[in-house]
Structure 1
């Protein structure tokens, strides 16, 4: 679900809608016509999308370990191998 930005259409309105506010909505939801707090007319504002390039968005294994998480990667069907953190070296489905 995208986060839409709204701002007051006129000078009338509360401090929140004059400054602009974000709202999490489904794509199928109709855009808001009024501020939910004061009822002033609002319109959607176009915002820049978030773009992630390369693997910079991935959490590093050292960062995971530092914060106490364990990471596993799938090596075959039902078998996972530890790549970071504490815990068993392998996890396997025993078929039960």
Structure 2
């Protein structure tokens, strides 16, 4: 399930938001559910915040043995455009 971030629509107005939605909160929800419209604690309007996307980082290039272990086919160029499977 993805994690969604929500924040109050009026973070500067303490009368219209609680301390939870004023600072923002995260919520795990199924993809097929509609986004929240009200804070779960104070029932005041909230909006969904677009957050950063977590992408994997590769620290080093894959070696031939790592690529083979991951299921890739390794080809090496031989003569004039002829490739040989390693």
Q: Fold match, TM over 0.5?
A: yes
Distance in 1 of aligned mates of 2:28 and 2:47: 15
Instruction: Confirm or deny that 1:37 pairs with 2:41.
Output: yes
TM-score, structure 2 normalization:
0.61
* Larger-gyration structure (1/2): 2
Please list every run of at least 4 consecutive aligned residues from structure 1 whose deviation after the TM superposition is greater than 2 angstroms: none
Aligned residues: 56
Give TM-score, length-normalised by structure 1: 0.55
Name the Cα RMSD after superposition: 1.5
| Structure 1 residue ranges without an equivalent (≥5) | 57-96
Using the TM superposition, give the Cα deviation of residue 51 of structure 1 relative to its aligned residue in structure 2, in angstroms. Answer: 1.1
User: The residue matched to 2:26 in structure 1 has which SS?
Assistant: strand
Instruction: Compare relative contact order (CA 8 Å, sep 6+) and give the higher one, 1 or 2.
Output: 2
- CA distance in 1 between counterparts of 2:22 and 2:32 reads 25
Gaps of 5+ in 2: 61-86
- Is 2:81 the counterpart of 1:52? no
